[in-house]
Amino acid sequence: MMEEKNNTETAPEYAEPVIQPRRSFSLVWLVPLVALLIGGWLAVKAISEKGPTITITFKTATDLEAGKTKIKYKDVEIGQVDTIRLSEDASHIVVKANMVKQAEEFLTESTQFWVVRARVTGGEVSGLGTLFSGAYIAVDPGKNGKTIHHFKGLEIPPVITMDLPGRHFRLKATRLGSINYGSPVYYRQIKVGEVDGFSLDEDGETVDIQIFIQAPYHQYVRRNSRFWQSSGLDLELSAQGLRVDTQSVVSLMIGGIAFGALEGVGPEETAGENTQFRLFDNYSAAQKMRYESTGRCQLYFDQSIRGLAIGAPVEFRGIEIGEVVDIRLETGSDFDAIAISVTIDFEAERCGMSGRTDEERLQSLAALVKKGLRAQLKTGNLLTGQLYVALDFHQDAVPQSVNFSGEYPGIPTVPEDLEGIMTDISHFIARLDKLPLEDMGQHLDQTLRGMDKLVNSPALIQAVQSLDVAMQDLKAATETINVSTLPSINGTFEKMEKAVGEIETLLDADAPLQYDLRRALEELTAAARAVKSMADLIERHPESLIRGKGGRAD
């Protein structure tokens, strides 16, 4: 009992709790309240700054990933792919993307989207950076049209973007050739643009090619400029030799287009946006002078025209005045008459008929045909055998007139020179067949037999032997003359030469004979003068013969 009392006395005393009144608001709730306000502000800001949501359709989802693929413009991120799904008919994929608010004003009908990935084409290599960073969707903002949020993505990147200065033009061609999307356009062998696209016209007869020429080169496209295909090598073999023309190695692989001014013609004003031009097949075709005023005529040939093609030139004495536009075979109702019809177009301005009416042109044509104008096929290239139509005057041609019974006026034709030669050869062979060659051969055989008998006859052999003996005698006589006669003749010639020398000595000016001859001539001259004086005296005084020189008559 004593121990329990001691333990009770030594136990510590406990303090009584002080109870204070409870506050109305705790500071602990301030932190979540601030966080709630910040979150609300961020939410409001996110909603206010959130851009539009768009959908883009592509054929495939190659290199695209939901939540990762970015949408960029000039390498600046302006959106991100949210989801990728198949369309309802599974023909394409639908990409849903969230854009920044600043991009809303550029989402118009002219906006274009395409996937940027590594591409290798004949003209260039692009998108190599995506090998490390991944593919992304590029955008070309549009400025025209109403705002839309549904777009159809391009499978091929556009050649021209909205911010690239320059001008668009359209070309009309009968065929596309090797031209493709992105093919280069050259001016003086300098690349100045590219092919932006191409399509087939509604009638299906021509191809519409869209090209873009960059600034400042678009100012060199004039209203009279000529465009031609520069694809591959342009080879031309003519009278001037072999001509090879190409623009660049790239144009050899992927094709190309070139343009320039018409030679000899001054440039006109600059062509405007979307001006339409004709695309020629090559440079030579582009440089041909084109005239608006043309006439059409028809030619009929009854010979082979192998080597003549549509587009072949029509020339008058070497000057091209038109081309062949149609070739067809015309037959009678029962094939009783077969002729080849060749339709040609001639340029009236080159023929001096630009200012005349159709009736006046027909009258002029009739007058020319009456004077001998004819059409003829001639070979233009010996290697290829190509033919062309030559118009010229043939004075020896059979008189004919213009045929007005057909669809177009018909110009008479004459055979080709080679065909005329072959015809003459045929006529010669026909005449040769009419000759009695068998009878002539028999007579010739008889003649040869007679000659054989004559040659082998004894009389001819004896005559030949006698002639041989005579020739031997003649040879012996010649040897005798050479041995005996010729020395005598040589001695005679020596004596004659000596006599001539003596004569020359006598006739020398200083020789005595010459002196004596001169003196004798002088005396003879004096005697002649005396005789003349006496004759004169006798003529004047005949009585002097009786009385003498000094006598007088009584």
SS3 string of 108-139? ECCCEEEEECCEECCCCEECCCHHHHCCEEEE
Predicted pLDDT of residue 419: 54
Does the pLDDT at position 96 exceed 90?
Answer: yes
Map residue 501 onto helix, strand or coil: helix
Predicted pLDDT of residue 160: 72
Burial of 158 (0-12, 13-18, 19+ CB in 10 A): middle
Does the pLDDT at position 239 exceed 50?
Answer: no
Predicted pLDDT of residue 354: 65
For the ranges 414-418, 517-521, 548-552, the lowest mean pLDDT is seen at 548-552
Does the pLDDT at position 241 exceed 50?
Answer: no
Between CA 218 and CA 216 the distance in angstroms is 6
Among 87-101, 253-267, 433-447, 465-479, which range has the highest average pLDDT? 87-101
Higher pLDDT, 238 or 112: 112
pLDDT tens, 427-451? 667 676 777 767 777 777 778 777 7
- Is the pTM higher than 0.75? no
Average pLDDT over every residue of 456-463: 76
The size of the chain, in residues, is 554
The secondary structure of residue 102, as a DSSP letter, is: G
pLDDT tens, 127-163? 566 666 788 999 988 777 788 889 999 888 887 777 7
pLDDT tens, 466-522? 777 888 877 777 777 767 666 777 777 777 777 777 776 766 666 676 667 777 777
pLDDT tens, 525-538? 777 777 777 777 77
Does the pLDDT at position 229 exceed 90?
Answer: no
Higher pLDDT, 11 or 481: 481
For the ranges 262-276, 296-310, 422-436, the lowest mean pLDDT is seen at 422-436
Mean pLDDT, the chain, rounded, equals 78
pLDDT tens, 50-69? 788 999 999 998 889 998 99
Q: How far apart are the first and last CA of the chain?
A: 262
